Structure 1
Amino acid sequence: KIRRLVKYYKRKKVLPPDWKYDPERAKLIVK
Protein backbone atom coordinates (compact mmCIF):
# COMPACT_ATOMS: atom_id res chain seq x y z
CA LYS A 1 0.00 0.00 0.00
CA ILE A 2 2.66 2.50 1.05
CA ARG A 3 5.01 1.63 -1.80
CA ARG A 4 2.21 2.15 -4.26
CA LEU A 5 1.59 5.56 -2.70
CA VAL A 6 5.27 6.43 -2.95
CA LYS A 7 5.27 5.58 -6.65
CA TYR A 8 2.13 7.65 -7.11
CA TYR A 9 3.58 10.64 -5.26
CA LYS A 10 6.84 10.43 -7.16
CA ARG A 11 4.87 10.51 -10.39
CA LYS A 12 2.91 13.49 -9.09
CA LYS A 13 6.20 15.21 -8.18
CA VAL A 14 5.14 15.41 -4.54
CA LEU A 15 8.21 13.48 -3.44
CA PRO A 16 11.75 13.80 -4.75
CA PRO A 17 12.78 10.76 -6.81
CA ASP A 18 15.42 9.84 -4.25
CA TRP A 19 12.96 9.88 -1.34
CA LYS A 20 13.47 6.99 1.02
CA TYR A 21 10.54 5.44 2.84
CA ASP A 22 10.46 7.06 6.27
CA PRO A 23 7.53 6.05 8.51
CA GLU A 24 7.45 9.41 10.25
CA ARG A 25 7.37 11.41 7.04
CA ALA A 26 4.97 8.94 5.50
CA LYS A 27 2.52 9.63 8.33
CA LEU A 28 2.63 13.33 7.52
CA ILE A 29 2.06 12.67 3.83
CA VAL A 30 -0.73 10.14 4.30
CA LYS A 31 -2.67 12.41 6.68
Structure 2
Amino acid sequence: MWILLELVLLGAALLYGSVIVDSFGPHGIV
Protein backbone atom coordinates (compact mmCIF):
# COMPACT_ATOMS: atom_id res chain seq x y z
CA MET A 1 0.00 0.00 0.00
CA TRP A 2 2.75 2.40 0.97
CA ILE A 3 4.73 1.38 -2.12
CA LEU A 4 1.79 2.31 -4.35
CA LEU A 5 1.51 5.68 -2.62
CA GLU A 6 5.22 6.34 -3.07
CA LEU A 7 5.00 5.42 -6.76
CA VAL A 8 2.14 7.88 -7.23
CA LEU A 9 4.04 10.65 -5.43
CA LEU A 10 7.18 9.88 -7.44
CA GLY A 11 5.24 10.00 -10.70
CA ALA A 12 3.66 13.32 -9.71
CA ALA A 13 7.06 14.73 -8.74
CA LEU A 14 8.60 13.67 -12.07
CA LEU A 15 5.67 15.12 -14.02
CA TYR A 16 5.82 18.39 -12.06
CA GLY A 17 9.59 18.56 -12.53
CA SER A 18 9.30 17.97 -16.28
CA VAL A 19 6.73 20.78 -16.52
CA ILE A 20 9.03 23.16 -14.62
CA VAL A 21 12.02 22.32 -16.84
CA ASP A 22 9.86 22.64 -19.96
CA SER A 23 8.64 26.05 -18.79
CA PHE A 24 12.26 27.24 -18.52
CA GLY A 25 12.90 26.05 -22.07
CA PRO A 26 16.46 25.63 -23.45
CA HIS A 27 17.77 27.94 -20.73
CA GLY A 28 16.60 25.59 -17.99
CA ILE A 29 18.57 22.90 -16.21
CA VAL A 30 19.61 20.08 -18.53
If the length of structure 2 is used for normalisation, what is the TM-score?
0.41
**Which gives a bigger RCO, structure 1 or 2 (Cα 8 Å, sep 6+)?**
1
Give the number of the structure whose alpha-carbon radius of gyration is greater: 2
The structure with more helix, counted as a fraction of residues? 2
